[in-house]
Amino acid sequence: DKLAQEKGYADYLSASWEDDRIEMLKSIEDSSFFQTVRGNLVTGLYNQKEVWPLFGYEGESYSKGGYINRGYNDINWV
């Protein structure tokens, strides 16, 4: 909230401009706090099969023969 107050907002949730919110988050992204929250969020998402379709994750690949033979080797923009 201190960063938000420096930008003239009451707190982070009051920051109405996405650019301001992103700037605040980028300023702390190297901190251990941010990395812990980010790590827990990613782990939490990937541990919930119900949300996988929302971001295109199909689960682990080993039981399906790996990634190479499942369409991931046909990327033409790399």
Is 77 within a domain?
no
* Structural domain contains residue 78: no
User: Has residue 36 been placed in a domain?
Assistant: yes
Confidence band (pLDDT; 50, 70, 90) for 74?
A: low
Min mean pLDDT across 27-31, 44-48, 56-60 is at 56-60
Per-residue HEC secondary structure of the chain comes to: CHHHHHCCCCCHHHCCCHHHHHHHHHHHCCCHHHHHHHHHHHHHHHCCHHHHHHHCCCCCCHHHCCCHHHHHCCCCCC
Q: How many structural domains is the chain composed of?
A: 1
Task: Give the pLDDT confidence score for residue 53 in this predicted structure.
Answer: 87
Residue 51 has pLDDT above 80, yes or no: yes
User: Which residues span the domain enclosing 56?
Assistant: 2-72
